[in-house]
Amino acid sequence: MKLFAKLIQQLELSNKTNDKITALVDYFNCADDRDKIWVIALFTGKKPKRPIKSTLLKYWAIDITQTPEWLFSESYANVGDLSETIALLLPPAENTSDFRLHKWIEDLHDLQGKDDETKKEFILNAWNKLETQERFIFNKLISGNFRIGVSNKMLVNALAKQSSLDSAQVMHSIMGKWDPYEITFGELINGNHVNTDNSWPYPFCLAYPLEQETEKLGDISDWQAEWKWDGIRGQIVKRNGELFIWSRGEELVTEQFPELHFLVDVLPDGVVIDGEILAIKDKKVLSFSTLQQRLNRKTITKKQLEDAPIGFFVYDILEFETKDYRAYSLAERRKILEKLIGDLDESVVILSPVINCKSWEELAELRQTARELNSEGIMLKKLSSHYHSGRKRGDWWKWKINPYTVDAVMIYAQKGSGRRANFFTDYTFAVRDGEKLVTIAKAYSGLTDKEIKEVNSFVNKNSIEKFGPVRTVKPELVFEIAFEGIAESKRHKAGLALRFPRILRWRKDKKADDINTLEDLRELLASTM
């Protein structure tokens, strides 16, 4: 555990990717193989099952430190993390422990099903032999996620470097289905499990936003342009008679989308296709808010199936006749795909259409009509490009249309969590409705650290009332809020809700009198219906 605690500390100490990779490589060089398995599992979000509720941890900590509950809450608000708050509140440990990470995880696992008294005794005993940093990690093992700025890619690069394997191969291995209790480090890294596992997907190829003039991309005939769809990016895998649907979040979502289950009968074995799960009716894409009704549900009602039918727009083919086609050119892959999907002649699984344009100007003009199709812009893919693992600059670009914007005034502020626990970073915005102000969005990103400090200082000086963590502030600061869509909403007082609102910029040049009105937004809503 000490080694792992040191790793976490090193990862937190640096902002530089290279330092983090070095720290990971150092760790993988000297850690116990059984520990490494768990580090990979934890960093890729494969959490062990919670043996204990975090509220119990909180009450046990309150109990042994004799801290009033309200003071615990104040401390938590300042620290921004429950595991850490507990670790800092506890008195210094009286013993030490040499247990390794996997041993702690196994012991915690064994607590499943035990009574609360047994659990409490184990936890208190553990707290009393761990240092503050180790305690923090121990609590995290029970209650939370490790969010320490290690991306899958960073982890994979470190593993590849340490084991001298190809990083795409390692990415494959850790993305597949594996059980940290069963697999050995060697098996995992060498990908033994992925060969026998029918389900494994490929890492998605991702695009960077286009920041340059399209003219600089060269001749348009070297590029394939497609509409950029706003849904859930997914991969459909059909192998040995089984069908799997993966989302980009590396989650298996097969059960959520029964409309696609027929593919198990019509797709040949050894096929992997990449595309977008969308709400589709009569081969037309519906708005994202329609699709939303279908997401993250355990059961789906008949009504939901009728109201929000889904389909799959296919972008690419990665595997065909059990062969990995990712190193073929896009032009070649598209040919295979057109044949495969065209033969299906289906109304829910459709080829994402290619936009044929003679010039960049023509394409730019077409791009402006994207919203009419419920698309968010254009994707540009080089015809000669391979299907890369992850994000790679140069071959794929997303060329989004500009977002909608509204000028609104800040009326509430709330402190952030984690890194921003002590600054007012979450703001609620309002527009004018006659004499009144009505809230339309909450947003928390898009400002620089310096601006956040400035707003923070404004909030401190201009608070009107305090409701728990929320302050009402004088309506003075005007921000330009960008958003992707607008929908009717009964939940919100304004009667409408903005999709993906974020702060575009702070309009220091504008006063609260200059902001938009609710009527402006209603007009926009009407125009998109």
Instruction: Tell me how far CA of residue 440 lies from CA of 406, 432, 478, 511, in angstroms.
Output: 10, 10, 14, 18
Q: Which amino acid is at 119?
A: K
CB of 53 to other proteins, least distance (A): 22
Q: Does 67 bind other proteins (CB under 8 A)?
A: yes
Question: Rounded to 10 degrees, what is the CA torsion of 395, 401, 402, 404?
Answer: -140
Q: Between 207 and 236, how does the x/- string for binding to other proteins read (CB under 8 A)? A: ------------------------------
What DSSP line would sit under 136-159, residue for residue?
A: HHHHHHHH----SS--HHHHHHHH
Q: Does 85 bind other proteins (CB under 8 A)?
A: yes
E strands, 287-403, in order: 310-320, 323-324, 349-351, 354-355, 375-382, 390-391, 396-400
Q: Between 426 and 455, how does the x/- string for binding to other proteins read (CB under 8 A)? A: -----------------------x---x--
**Contact with other proteins (CB under 8 A): which of 35, 81, 395, 426?**
81
Q: Does 29 bind other proteins (CB under 8 A)?
A: no
Given a contact cutoff of 8 angstroms between Cβ atoms, the answer to whether 390 and 156 are in contact is no
CB of 208 to other proteins, least distance (A): 24
**Contact with other proteins (CB under 8 A): which of 386, 420, 510, 522?**
420
Number of H helices, E strands in the chain: 20, 23
**Contact with other proteins (CB under 8 A): which of 29, 30, 68, 358?**
68
Taking the least distance from each CB to other proteins, the nearer of 33 and 63 is 63
**Contact with other proteins (CB under 8 A): which of 6, 26, 80, 93?**
80
Burial of 198 (0-12, 13-18, 19+ CB in 10 A): middle
Taking the least distance from each CB to other proteins, the nearer of 67 and 192 is 67
Given a contact cutoff of 8 angstroms between Cβ atoms, the answer to whether 464 and 389 are in contact is no
CB of 16 to other proteins, least distance (A): 9
Q: Does 423 bind other proteins (CB under 8 A)?
A: yes
Tokens linked to 160: 């590849």
Q: Is 490 a catalytic residue?
A: no
Place of tokens 């994402």: 352
Q: For residue 417, how far is the Cα from the chain centroid?
A: 17
CB of 45 to other proteins, least distance (A): 20
Q: Does 457 bind other proteins (CB under 8 A)?
A: yes
**Contact with other proteins (CB under 8 A): which of 33, 63, 71, 464?**
71
Tokens linked to 300: 């789906």
Closest Cα partner for 4 from 77, 13, 32?
32
**Contact with other proteins (CB under 8 A): which of 109, 284, 419, 511?**
419
Tokens linked to 528: 């998109």
Tokens linked to 245: 């649907």
Given a contact cutoff of 8 angstroms between Cβ atoms, the answer to whether 398 and 228 are in contact is yes
Q: Does 469 bind other proteins (CB under 8 A)?
A: no
Q: Does 467 bind other proteins (CB under 8 A)?
A: no
Taking the least distance from each CB to other proteins, the nearer of 139 and 389 is 139
Q: Does 418 bind other proteins (CB under 8 A)?
A: yes
Stretch that binds other proteins, among 63-71, 171-179, 199-207, 396-404 (CB under 8 A): 63-71
Selected catalytic residue, list 36, 228, 238, 382: 228
Tokens linked to 73: 């809450």
d(CA 259, CA 243) in angstroms, rounded, equals 13
Stretch that binds other proteins, among 11-19, 31-39, 290-298, 498-506 (CB under 8 A): 11-19
Q: Does 96 bind other proteins (CB under 8 A)?
A: no
**Contact with other proteins (CB under 8 A): which of 322, 356, 369, 460?**
460
Taking the least distance from each CB to other proteins, the nearer of 10 and 329 is 10
Taking the least distance from each CB to other proteins, the nearer of 83 and 224 is 83
Tokens linked to 434: 């006659």
Q: Does 18 bind other proteins (CB under 8 A)?
A: no
Q: Does 78 bind other proteins (CB under 8 A)?
A: yes
Given a contact cutoff of 8 angstroms between Cβ atoms, the answer to whether 205 and 195 are in contact is no
Q: Between 488 and 527, how does the x/- string for binding to other proteins read (CB under 8 A)? A: ----------------------------------------
E strands, 401-523, in order: 404-415, 424-433, 436-443, 463-467, 470-473, 478-483, 485-488, 496-499, 502-506
Given a contact cutoff of 8 angstroms between Cβ atoms, the answer to whether 177 and 198 are in contact is no
Tokens linked to 34: 């059984």
Q: Does 82 bind other proteins (CB under 8 A)?
A: no
Taking the least distance from each CB to other proteins, the nearer of 439 and 456 is 456
Helix (H, G, I), strand (E, B), or coil: what is residue 348?
coil
**Contact with other proteins (CB under 8 A): which of 33, 63, 69, 74?**
74
In the window 370-389, what residues touch other proteins (CB under 8 A)?
none
d(CA 398, CA 412) in angstroms, rounded, equals 34
Q: Does 151 bind other proteins (CB under 8 A)?
A: no
Stretch that binds other proteins, among 115-123, 264-272, 413-421, 507-515 (CB under 8 A): 413-421
Phi and psi torsions of 278, nearest 5°: -140, 160
User: Which residues of this chain interact with other proteins, rule CB under 8 A?
Assistant: 12-15, 65, 67-68, 70-71, 74-75, 78-81, 84-85, 88-89, 417-423, 449, 453, 456-457, 460-461
Active site residues: 228
